[in-house]
C-alpha cells in the first residue's frame, strides 16, 4: 500500500499520516526502490490503533509508551476521564449561562447575573450612545467587584428595574444626555433635584455597600472621554450632593431642595 491507500483505509488524511511519522508516533515503513513508502497490513493496524487513541483524547506524546505497554492504560484512562469531567462541567456551566442570556433576551456580553436587568429595556427618547455608556460603566463596575459587591450591584439593578421607576429613570437619563454649555441653570438645578428625589426612593433602605478598588479613577477616565464638560460638572456635583464630599454614602440621605 502507498500513502494514499493506507490513509484512505484508516480514515485519515495523508497529511495526518505524515505528521504521525514526523512526531514519531508511527515508525517509517520500508521504502521501495523509487523512494516511496510501502505500507503493510501491520502498518495499517498500528495506524488504526493510533487513530483510536487520538479519538478518545490521548496525547500524541503518550501514544508510543502506551502502545508498548498496557500497564499505563488504567492511569491514562483515569486522567482522560477526569479531564473530560472537568470539560463537561465547564461546558454545562457555559450552556447554563447561554440559556439565562437567551431567556432574558440579553446581549452575549452581559454579565450573567445581570441578565434581565442590564439593557433589558429599549426606552424611547434616550439616545443609543447614552444607553451604551451606561452599559459600558455597568460592565466595568461588575468586573471590578468581588462576589459581595456583585450581589449588591444585582440588587441595585433589581430595584432600579421596578416598573414605577423605569419611566422616570429613562426620562432623567434623556435629560442628562441633553446637558451642554447652553443648558439653562434652572434646568440643571431641576434635574439635580429630580435625581435626588429618585435616589431617595431607590435607596430608602440605605446605599448599597459597593466598594471596588480603582473604580473611581477608571470611571473618571471614562467620563473624561464620554461626557462633555457640563455633564461631568453635573456628575461631580451629584456625587457631592448625594454621597458627600468624601464620595461615601451618608447614614441618612437628604433630598436636595428644588
Distance CA 108, CA 244 (A): 37
Domain boundary among 68, 92, 125: 68
Mean pLDDT of 245-254: 46
Whether 218 is covered by a domain: the verdict is yes
Instruction: Based on the fold, state whether residues 44 and 123 are members of the same structural domain.
Output: no
3-state SS class at 37: strand
pLDDT, mean of residues 112-118? 79
User: Residues 186-206: what's their mean pLDDT?
Assistant: 85
**Are 34 and 150 members of one domain?**
no
Question: 131 and 218: one domain?
Answer: yes
Nearest CA to 227 out of 176, 182, 186 is that of 176
Residue 110 β-bridge partners: none
Q: Report yes or no on 90 lying in a domain.
A: no
Q: Are residues 35 and 135 in the same domain?
A: no
On whether residue 255 sits in a domain, the answer given is: no
**Predicted local confidence at residue 246, as pLDDT:** 47
Q: Is the pLDDT of residue 20 over 90?
A: yes
Residues 231 and 182 in one domain: yes
Report the distance separating Cα 216 and Cα 189, nearest Å.
24
Highest mean pLDDT of the ranges 85-94, 112-121, 127-136, 153-162: 85-94
Domain that holds residue 213: 108-243
Claim to verify: residue 112 and residue 43 sit in the same structural domain: no
Q: Kindly report the CATH number assigned to the domain that includes residue 36.
A: 1.10.1660.10
Q: How many domains does the chain have?
A: 2
Q: Is the pLDDT of residue 220 over 60?
A: yes
CA 254 distance to own-chain centroid: 38
**pLDDT for residue 252:** 42
Higher-pLDDT residue of 69, 30: 30
Residues 116 and 220 in one domain: yes
- Reply yes or no on whether the pLDDT at 54 is more than 80: yes
Q: How confident is the model at residue 154 (pLDDT cuts 50, 70, 90)?
A: confident
pTM, full prediction = 0.64
- Do 132 and 48 lie in one domain? The reply is no
Q: For residue 76, is it within any domain?
A: no
Residue 140 above 60 pLDDT? yes
> Does any domain span residue 121?
yes
Query: How far is it, in rounded angstroms, from Cα 36 to Cα 42?
Result: 18
Give the end of a domain, one of 48, 68, 88.
68
Amino acid at each position: 500500500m502507498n500513502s494514499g491507500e493506507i490513509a484512505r483505509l484508516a480514515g485519515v488524511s495523508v497529511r495526518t499520516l505524515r505528521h504521525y511519522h514526523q512526531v514519531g508516533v508511527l515508525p517509517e515503513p520500508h521504502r521501495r526502490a523509487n523512494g516511496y513508502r510501502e505500507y503493510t497490513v501491520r502498518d495499517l493496524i498500528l495506524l488504526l490503533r493510533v487513530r483510536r487513541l487520538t479519538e478518545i483524547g490521548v496525547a500524541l506524546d503518550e501514544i508510543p509508551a502506551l502502545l508498548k505497554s498496557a500497564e499505563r492504560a488504567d492511569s491514562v484512562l483515569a486522567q482522560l476521564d477526569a479531564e473530560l469531567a472537568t470539560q463537561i462541567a465547564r461546558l454545562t456551566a457555559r450552556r447554563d449561562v447561554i440559556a439565562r442570556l437567551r431567556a432574558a433576551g440579553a446581549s452575549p456580553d452581559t454579565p450573567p447575573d445581570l441578565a434581565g436587568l442590564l439593557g433589558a429595556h429599549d426606552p424611547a427618547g434616550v439616545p443609543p450612545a447614552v444607553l451604551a455608556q451606561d452599559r459600558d460603566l455597568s460592565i466595568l463596575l461588575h468586573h471590578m467587584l468581588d462576589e459581595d459587591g456583585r450581589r449588591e450591584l444585582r440588587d441595585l439593578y433589581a430595584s432600579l428595574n421596578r416598573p414605577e421607576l423605569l419611566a422616570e429613570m429613562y426620562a432623567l437619563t434623556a435629560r442628562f444626555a441633553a446637558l451642554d454649555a447652553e443648558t439653562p441653570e434652572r434646568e440643571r438645578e431641576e434635574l439635580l433635584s429630580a435625581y435626588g428625589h429618585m435616589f431617595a426612593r431607590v435607596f430608602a433602605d440605605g446605599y448599597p455597600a459597593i466598594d471596588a478598588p480603582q473604580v473611581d479613577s477608571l470611571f473618571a477616565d471614562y467620563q473624561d472621554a464620554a461626557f462633555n464638560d457640563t455633564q461631568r460638572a453635573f456628575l461631580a456635583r451629584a456625587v457631592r450632593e448625594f454621597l458627600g464630599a468624601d464620595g461615601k454614602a451618608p447614614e441618612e440621605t437628604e433630598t436636595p431642595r428644588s
